[in-house]
Amino acid sequence: QVQLVESGGGLVQAGGSVRLSCAASGRTFSNYHMGWFRQAPGKEREFVSAISRRGGSSRYAESVKGRFTISRDNAKNTVYLQMDSLKPDDTAVYYCAADSANTVIIRTTEALYDYWGQGTQVTVSS
């Protein structure tokens, strides 16, 4: 079992930056690929970014590529999402998730992630 707690959300103007953090507790953090997903009002939850167990590989949704950066610090059991050049369309609840599968592939499918945080709201004003 892994417990995940996100933090760092809030209200930001378009063009601004926010860094989200997700602190993990429970089992060995470095055993999990970690992902960020988001859900905007009235929309389904969607993949944003994910990072491999050791942090050597990452993937991004096309909509955030070049603006968002995922990273992790296994010594601190924390994964981060640095969000720059924010747009109103980035407004959503952001969730971190852990993938326990023994695979080298960083997966983007929500249903394949085993553990989820409670989410943190990010609101980007125009």
35-81 pLDDT per residue, tens = 999 999 999 999 999 999 999 999 999 999 999 999 999 999 999 99
Instruction: Give the pLDDT score at 107.
Output: 94
Predicted local distance difference test score (pLDDT) of residue 60: 98
Which pLDDT does position 79 carry in this prediction? 98
27 confidence band (pLDDT: 50, 70, 90): confident
Q: Which SS3 state, helix, strand or coil, does residue 111 take?
A: helix
* Coil, strand or helix at 46: strand
- Quote the CA–CA distance of 53 and 39 in Å, as a whole number: 24
- Say how many C-beta atoms besides its own lie within 10 A of residue 117's C-beta: 22
Three-state DSSP state, 34: strand
Kindly compute the dihedral angle of the four CA atoms of residues 30, 33, 34, 38, in this order, to the nearest 10 degrees.
Answer: -170
Whole-angstrom distance, CA of residue 14 vs CA of residue 73? 28
**Number of neighbouring beta carbons within 10 Å of residue 93:** 18
